Amino acid sequence: MKKLAVSRVCALVALAAVSQLAQAADWSDTYIGYRKGSTFAEPFNPDDIGKDILNLNHVSGYKYGTNFFNVDMLMSDSKDPAAAGSSEGAQEVYVVYRNTVDLEKATGMPFKFGPVRGTGVTVGFDYNTKTDKGYNSKKRMLVVGPTFSMDVPGFLNVGLYELWESNAPNATPRYNYSTHPMVGLSWGVPIASLPLSFEGFANFISSKGKDEFGNDTAAETNIDMQVMYDLGAALGSAPKTFKVGLEYQYWQNKFGNDSGRMAGATAKTPMIRMEYHF
């Protein structure tokens, strides 16, 4: 019941934010999604963890660019307990927001070259909070840098970003990591003429200096990809309304923790995924 209550509050807040974005949009796509896997990993934890994840995702275009907003509500099983000795799984909320200003739209001048069909400047943030027996993450991160839209069917965006990240686990004073770069990719491309698409993101993050305990952090790789099937035609609804698919996440040195010396720092997680677009 506590999990449901937290999820409902988070969903209401997120829906309110998305409605404000949609009202100002020239176009938009919003969906509610669900995914589930049984081999998630968390640093400091040697066990495979089962998670149910609800998410709300919104992308829209406006006069000068695009907005992207996603909130994940992650509910762990008892292998990732909410407190020491508890049989209740931890809960986490992770929010991502990005605003990209298209330089051609903003200036009236083309910013195309080679395989790049458009260039933008992206500003955004990550925010998370988690209740678990160990770390109790409270991540805050600012993201700034250029984004290049590649000339492919569907979309492929490549970003070169600078990250300013901090955390305050277990009620400790907020700790600022060293400023560090990230190469970020996101894509959604059709598979031939089939009702299938290949979608996902990949983040390659450099070391962020020392962690809160004085240990060196490691470079981080987070690749999350899925093949999605458009159920719209089969259900007699509009295309791209209902999607189902298989997802796989590979996350090495999660949160900068070195998998060579820490259990749970690398995850290899297959998932099922469902989306309802509206």
Mean pLDDT score of the chain: 92
- Structure-token pair, residue 3: 């999990």
| Predicted confidence (pLDDT) at residue 244 exceeds the cutoff of 90 | yes
| Predicted confidence (pLDDT) at residue 148 exceeds the cutoff of 80 | yes
DSSP one-letter string for 125-180:
EEEEEEE-SS-----EEEEEEEEEEESSSSEEEEEEEEEEEEE-GGGPPPEEPPPE
What is the model's pLDDT at position 134? 81
| Predicted confidence (pLDDT) at residue 92 exceeds the cutoff of 70 | yes
Report the candidate in 246, 184, 180, 235 with the shortest Cα–Cα distance to residue 209.
180
From CA 233, how far away is CA 32, in angstroms rounded?
A: 19
102: Cα separation from own chain's centroid: 22
What is the model's pLDDT at position 84? 84
Residue 20 pLDDT level (bands cut at 50, 70, 90): low
- Count of C-beta atoms within a 10 Å radius of residue 202: 16
- Count of C-beta atoms within a 10 Å radius of residue 43: 20
What is the model's pLDDT at position 133? 87
pTM, entire model:
0.90
Residue 86 phi/psi, 5-degree rounding, is -85, 145
What is the model's pLDDT at position 24? 64
| Predicted confidence (pLDDT) at residue 69 exceeds the cutoff of 80 | yes
| Predicted confidence (pLDDT) at residue 117 exceeds the cutoff of 90 | yes
What is the model's pLDDT at position 143? 98
R_g of the chain computed on alpha carbons: 19
- Superfamily of domain 2-277, CATH level 4: Nucleoside-specific channel-forming protein, Tsx-like (2.40.230.20)
Please compute the mean of the pLDDT values over residues 217-235 and round it to a whole number: 94
From CA 208, how far away is CA 179, in angstroms rounded?
A: 7
Please compute the mean of the pLDDT values over residues 215-239 and round it to a whole number: 93
| Predicted confidence (pLDDT) at residue 25 exceeds the cutoff of 60 | yes
What is the model's pLDDT at position 22? 57
From CA 8, how far away is CA 71, in angstroms rounded?
A: 13
pLDDT in tens, 30-62: 999 999 999 999 998 999 999 999 999 999 999
Residue 7 pLDDT level (bands cut at 50, 70, 90): very low
- Structure-token pair, residue 135: 């770390």
pLDDT in tens, 181-217: 999 999 999 999 999 999 999 999 999 999 998 999 9
| Predicted confidence (pLDDT) at residue 127 exceeds the cutoff of 50 | yes
Q: How far is CA 276 from CA 31, 184, 231, in A?
A: 5, 26, 10
| Predicted confidence (pLDDT) at residue 4 exceeds the cutoff of 90 | no
What is the model's pLDDT at position 1? 47
DSSP one-letter string for 9-20:
HHHHHHHHHHHH
- Count of C-beta atoms within a 10 Å radius of residue 267: 20
- Count of C-beta atoms within a 10 Å radius of residue 169: 17
Q: How far is CA 54 from CA 41, 48, 93, 117, 132, in A?
A: 18, 19, 10, 34, 18
CB 31 within 8 A of CB 14: no
Domain ranges of the chain: 2-277
What is the model's pLDDT at position 13? 53
Report the candidate in 53, 54, 43 with the shortest Cα–Cα distance to residue 80.
43
Residue 161 pLDDT level (bands cut at 50, 70, 90): very high
